[in-house]
Amino acid sequence: MSVIDVQKDLAALTLTVTSRFEAAPPRVWQVWSDPRQLERWWGPPSHPATVVEYELTPGGTVTYYMTAPDGQRFHGWWRVRSVGAPSGLEFEDGFADDEGKPNPDLPTTIVRVTLDADEAAGGAATVMRIVTTFGDEAAMKQVLDMGVAEGMSEALGQIDALLAA
């Protein structure tokens, strides 16, 4: 099992998925930095991804489409925010129209990837953390400004208790 932890935080609007691989960070980095490798895992087997543009530099754009079994294409894009090979990257992930142009009316998510060598394994393993944040940058900034990372407010604890009931 590669996934070791999944955290859902309604307050911070984030999903954090932590996983571990038996490979050093430079190797794990390649699955992100090589578009041919990226194509092999980004889409589910039923909707394989094809990368069209690939510019993994700050401000750069990655465009791709996923092909459904009936041949229909779903276009998506990344806007690269930062790249720190081989330890991480951050990008905005959004939908595009049928011609691959970003659709500003559809929601985007911010994806932050960090790759850390597992020192206990002599650096031969990697812990990969993917933090996905819903909402646009302004909403996220607002959330960070509020310092919700301090922990869930009493109100949210209450909401979670209600949902669990």
Partner 1 sequence: MVVDRESGDRADRIFAALSDATRREIVAMTLTAEYSVSELARRFPVSFAAVQKHVAVLERAGLVIKRRSGREQRVRGNADALREAHRLLDQLADVWRGRVERIGALLAEPEPEPEPGLDLDLDPGGA
CB 96 within 8 A of CB 114: no
**Non-local CB neighbours of 151 within 8 Å, separated by 6+ positions:** none
Read off the tokens for 113: 């990837």
Site for partner 1, rule CB under 8 A: 2-3, 6, 8, 10-11, 13, 15, 17, 19, 21-24, 26-31, 33-37, 40-44, 47, 54, 56, 66, 76, 85-86, 93, 95, 106-107, 109, 128, 130, 132, 134-135, 139, 142-143, 146, 148, 153-156, 158-159, 162-163
Give the nearer residue to partner 1 in terms of CB position, either 23 or 120. Answer: 23
Phi-psi category of 125—alpha, beta or left, where left has phi over 0 and alpha has psi -120 to 50?
A: beta
**Non-local CB neighbours of 157 within 8 Å, separated by 6+ positions:** none
Considering the complex, what minimum distance in angstroms separates the CB of residue 19 from partner 1?
Answer: 4
Give the nearer residue to partner 1 in terms of CB position, either 44 or 71. Answer: 44
Give the nearer residue to partner 1 in terms of CB position, either 6 or 121. Answer: 6
